[in-house]
Structure 1
Amino acid sequence: MSFSLISIASNSSSPLVRKLPIVSEFYSSFSAYPFEYYFHYHSSSTNFRSTTIHSHLSTSFRPVNSISNSSSSAEDYSLVDISSPSASAADDELGVSDSDDEKAHQEHEIQTTCSYSSSLPDRWHVLGLGQAMVDFSGIVDDEFLVRLGLNKGTRKIVNHEERGKVLRAMDGCSYKAAAGGSLSNTLSALARLGGQALNIAMAGSVGSDPLGGFYRSKLQRANVKFLSAPVWDGTTGTVIVLTTPDAQRTMLAYQGTSSRVNYDPCLASLISKTSILIVEGYLFEFPDTIKTIARACEEAHKCGALVAITASDVTCIERHYDDFWDIMANYADIIFANSDEARAFCHFPSGESPVCATRYLSHFVPFVSVTDGRKGSYIGVKGEAVYIPPSPCVPVDTCGAGDAYASGILYGLLRGVSDLRGMGSLASKVASIVVSQQGTRLRVKDVVELAESFLFHHESSTMSS
């Protein structure tokens, strides 16, 4: 079988990338060529590394209709009372005992984390490294934000007391709790798309409190394994998402234990068994975690895994610009960003077109995904940008839209899809489902229909070509 090699990175000055000739009519006919091969050159090695995305997928990856229908679609969210003694059942799930002293508990954590691997799969399709946080999402009016002195549409870091003040103000409002965080949203959506055939895991940090048990339990229900042991006597991080009627969201983040992500032998072992490592950009906020990111990405490339980075937040990029670029230039194969974040990476003004930012970034990162809200999105490859039209929907809550979009891209990559427009279209449809509902979790019924339709069109186009 003949095929054309496509280099999806074109920065010839980088020591990490070997430039290959541009395939003729690349921009206008992506689907005509297999989007499978690209080459990296690592300064620590004298050999070029050839990577095929197909090789990252286990042969046991079955069609999407193998999704287990045992997962509940009716209970995407469960309310949790963080002050209620009855919530101690979550502690029992974690094996927390009040009579244990701290040293004994820490020893138990280490043993649990490392010995747990005996019951885990041999390889992971995707491993996420990010903040583990519980989302409290509710719909409020503008007056509520004014009363609390909050600027609409912003993200603010709050302390324990400020978090309590906002939650008390929400008393009587309708709000829901979910295992949130940007990365877990993406992983949960990806797990729904791929069903039981995909092995998805996350490493992060939760406390030994009821919210920590709630978080682990919810990810487990979403078919995502949370592999990090709880932090003894730690408080799980939370994000309060306040959505106004115009679908704008204001976010208040309490970091808690989510900032404590350490690199250890257990994490290294997990990375060595994964196909795609995806790192959440919010982790760049913490100096110690940046060291963890660098070591994790280095291990991933050493083991032949792809590395994906999520931009997460404009202010985060501005504060840690050099750290982001150090990781992106040396390790990133995939970058996920919205239009504002993409411009921030490029130091472009706010009025600059996201097309320019997408094209620019694709000279440094092989695969660039940039969303632009209701205007659509772009996929950047080798200095070109493919426009993806938005999927029509009535917006209810924009929280998690970009996370859902990323899951569609990852699913397409894992399926070895060569049609970038088709892959982007799937991602856009996944995002539209999330935007048209309150909450970030996909319903099984929606996902099965969407994934089956995507695979049908993908297989049909492959046969016709």
Structure 2
Amino acid sequence: MTQPSLDVIAIGNAIIDVIANCEDARIEELGLARGGMMLIDADQARTLYDAMGPAREISGGSAANTLAGLAMLGARCGFIGQVAQDQLGDVFTHDIRAAGIEFSVPARPGNPPTARCLIFVTPDGQRTMNTFLGASHYLPAEALDESLIADAAVLYLEGYLWDPEEPRAAMRKAIAAARKAGRKIAFTPSETFVIDRHRADFLDLIETGQIDVLFCNEHEMAALTGKEDFEDGLAMLAPKVPVLVVTRSADGAVAIADGERVAVAAEPIEKVVDTTGAGDLFAAGFLFGHVRGMKVADCLRLGAICASEIISHYGARAEQDLKAFVAERMA
């Protein structure tokens, strides 16, 4: 097997995050699910945007956020996702390439427009996400560069993109290409509502040995396994994947790799500002250590440190020099 030129290549939604502060009462007034993620259509997107206070626009998308973190740590990365030929599509394309991430999928002409996620952040730092998926759900299988997938040590897949038929077919094709090349596949189911819709597919990927590294939080693990008890969920999943990583918010995270169980505490920070992207950056830190053959305990610590940087400010892209931030805390 040849040495890969990329550490991680990811397939995911190409999204612009629009983030604004709000009071808890505003969440209730708008009828939103506090702390959750809801899919919306174009009309709802316009209505909620009009209801937002002053906002900031930041390139996002779960897998793209993970890659941005990986690239800041020094990893070589590539992204596969779909934007439209519009202003937000240009912004996303510029941002991901400026981060040093390979991105060559052509923009899609016409409607729907580039995806956007309208994020309301309450005073406790909790984020309520409302996502219009737009062009991101029209990623065709023919957009895949199979040689590039084969040339990455890890293929990372975002569960959010499993919902529509076209990108789901693209992801299945990518899994086949990675497997043929002898590469590893990492997967996150992304959200409980995605699991509710595609639980059988996700369990099949796990049962048939298609997943090497599985990331989920404790709520997603419960939805995936049907086990409300944390230990029961771990016992069900751990024997089926070489590496299982389960995050628990303020309670840290647990990983089980080849039967070895390791836990890490959440990194202490002065104030939680915005939890958007915490899981994405946890995955970035863990994968960075994983592709470099680090011990599982160190991979978990890297993940926790990266997540702590993200929740200390707005948005899901690091604002500090992430490599220096990690080095200081790992010392």
TM-score scaled by length of structure 2: 0.94
Report runs of 4+ in structure 1 exceeding 6 Å deviation.
Answer: none
Matched residue, 1:211: 88
2:21 maps to which of 131, 136, 139: 139
The answer to whether 1:398 aligns with 2:271 is no
Q: Where do 1:131-280 residues align within 5 Å? A: 131-170=13-52, 173-194=53-74, 198-234=75-111, 235-264=113-142, 266-280=144-158
2:114 & 2:40 partners in 1: Cα distance? 14
Partner Cα separation in structure 1 for residue 144 and residue 246 of structure 2: 33
Distance in 2, matches of 1:388 and 1:424, equals 6
Residue identity in the other structure for 1:328: I
Task: Number of aligned residue pairs: give it.
Answer: 328
In 1: Cα distance, 2:50 partner to 2:143 partner: 41
Alpha-carbon distance in 1 for matches of 2:33, 2:8: 36
Partner of 1:127: 9
SS state at 1:299 partner:
helix
User: Is 2:307 aligned against 1:431?
Assistant: yes
Q: Taking structure 1 as the reference length, what is the TM-score of the superposition?
A: 0.68
Tell me if structure 2 keeps the 8 A contact 1:238–1:253: yes
Q: What's the CA shift for 1:129?
A: 0.6
Give the match for residue 380 of structure 1. 256
- For the 8 Å contact 1:193–1:451, the answer to whether it is kept is no
For 1:158 and 1:335, the matched residues in 2 are separated by 27
**Aligned 8 A contact 1:361 1:380 in 2:** no
Q: Which runs of 5+ in 2 are unaligned?
A: none
Q: Which has the larger radius of gyration?
A: 1
The answer to whether the Cα contact below 8 Å between 1:359 and 1:381 also exists between their aligned partners in 2 is no
**For the Cα contact (< 8 Å) 1:134–1:181, is it kept in 2?**
yes
Identity %: 29
Contact preservation (8 Å) 1:359, 1:380: no
- Confirm or deny that 1:364 pairs with 2:252: no
Distance 1:268 1:127 in 2: 11
- 2:184 maps to which residue? 306
Using the alignment, how far apart are the partners of 1:298 and 1:306 within structure 2?
11
CA contact (8 A) 1:137 1:177 kept: yes
| Aligned residues: CA RMSD | 1.8
Residues 367 and 332 of structure 1: CA distance in aligned 2, closer, same or farther (over 3 Å): same
Superposed, 1:98-117 pairs within 5 Å as none
SS at match of 1:362: helix
CA displacement 1:13-48 (0-9 Å, x = unmatched): xxxxxxxxxxxxxxxxxxxxxxxxxxxxxxxxxxxx
CA shift digits 1:86-118 (9 cap, x unpaired): xxxxxxxxxxxxxxxxxxxxxxxxxxxxxxxxx
